[in-house]
Amino acid sequence: MSNCIPETVGREILLHLIDFLVTSYGRDPVITRLLNNTRIHIMPTMNPDGFEATKVPDCYYTPGRYNGNGEDLNRNFPDAFEDNRANIQPETQAVMDWIKNETFVLSANLHGGALVASYTFDNGNPVTGSLKGYSRSPDDDVFIHLAKTYSSNHASMYKGTGCDSRQTFPEGITNGYSWYQLEGGMQDYNYVWGQCFEITLELSCCKYPPEDQLGKFWRDNKVALIEYIKQVHLGVKGQVTDKNGNPIPNAIVEAKGRPHVCPYRTNQHGEYFLLLLPGTYVINATVPGYKSMLKTVEIPDNTGNFSAVKQDFSFPEVSDKISSKVTSCPKTPLYQELSRASAAVKPTVHLLVLMTVVLAIFK
C-alpha cells in the first residue's frame, strides 16, 4: 500500500495501519493469522519532497502534488495506451524497480480530494471499451469486487454521495476511465507490468484537513483496510516445476478467457498468483517451447482461511535448467498496438486478429 500523492490523510492512515498491525500481532487472532500468512509492504509517502513543500495546507489545492523537479508522480509512469513521453523521475523509477523485484499481488494507493474506490483502467481505447465511456480490464469482475470490498467496509464511502451534489458514485466505486481519463498512472502500470491488482482509494474530500480530524479518518478506514488486505488470498496460486522438481521461471500462467496484454508469468521461484472470484476456471500453464498444460480448478472464497487455492504444474518433459532471468514486456503502449492491429482489418475478422496478436505475445 502506498501514498502516491503526499496528502496528509493517506500518510496518516498508513502510519496508523503500521502501528495497528504491529501492536495487534499476538493479541488479535485475526491480525496474527493475517500477518503469519501475508507479506505486507507499506510505503507511507512516495513523494516526501512534495509533502515538505506544503507550507500552508489547503483543502483543494497543494503545490505538494509535485516532486522537487515539478513533476506529478501519478502521471509519470509508462502508459499502456499512449506514449506519454514521461521523464521518469527518481521516485517513480525506484517504485518501478520495487515492483519488478518483488512479487506483489494486491495493492492500493491512497489519495485525497474525493471519497471513492476507483479501479483499472484509468486510461483506455476502443479495445477496452472506451467508446462507451468505460475502460474494461480482463479482470473487471475482480476489480469491482475489490473496490466494493473497500467501500462497503468503510464508514461512509459505500453511500456514494461524493463530496458535492455534482459528484456521485453508486456504491462508492467507479471505473477510473469513467470518472476521468488519466495517463501515466501507477494503478494501470502495476496491473499491466507488475502483475499486481491495484485500486486507487480517494479517502477525503479535503486534501489537508485539520489535525484534530485525522484520528477519525483512521477509524473510518480501519476495517476497510484489513478486509481489503485479506483479498490477496482470493483465487489460485502455485508453482511450476520441471521433471526434477526445479522451479521454472518465466512460465506463462493465465486463466482461460482472461489473457493479459502482458502475459502473467512465474517469478524466479516458479511461483504464480492469480486473483479470481469464486467459481470454476481453466488454468493454462505454458513453458516456451513446450506443450501447454490445462487444469480445471474450483475456487472457493478462501479469504477467511488466509490462503488461496493451491494448484501446481509439473512439466515432465522439461529437464534442462531454465534461465532464471524473468522476462518482462516492453514499456510501450501495448493496448495502442492492439488497437492499431484491429483497426487495420475488416470487422468480420476483428476477433481473429485480436486472438492472433494475443497468441503471438504468448509464444
Q: Where are the alpha helices (DSSP H) in 232-363?
A: 334-343, 350-362
SS (H, E, C) 140-208: HHHHHHHHHHHHHHCCCHHHCCCCCCCCCCHHHEEEHHHHCCCCCCHHHHHHHHCCCEEEEEEEECCCC
Q: Count of residues for the chain?
A: 363
**Rounded to the nearest 5 degrees, what angle is found at the Cα of 86, between the Cα atoms of 85 and 90?**
150
Q: Name the phi and psi angles at 197, rounded to 5.
A: -80, 115
As a whole number of angstroms, the distance between CA 258 and CA 293 comes to: 16
Cis peptide before 121 (omega within 30 of 0): yes
In angstroms, the CA 112 to CA 203 distance is 5
Pick from 243, 223, 257: nearest CA to 322: 243
Whether 75 contacts 69, CB under 8 Å: no
Catalytic annotation on 183?
Answer: no
Alpha carbon separation from 102 to 19, 45, 327, 334 (Å, rounded): 23, 19, 14, 22
Helix, coil or strand: residue 339: helix
In the chain, DSSP assigns E strands to: 106-111, 114-119, 173-175, 197-204, 236-242, 252-255, 271-274, 279-286, 293-299, 309-310, 313-315
Label the pairing between strands 279-286 and 293-299: antiparallel
Find the catalytic residue in 12, 198, 202, 254: 202
Catalytic residue annotation: 202
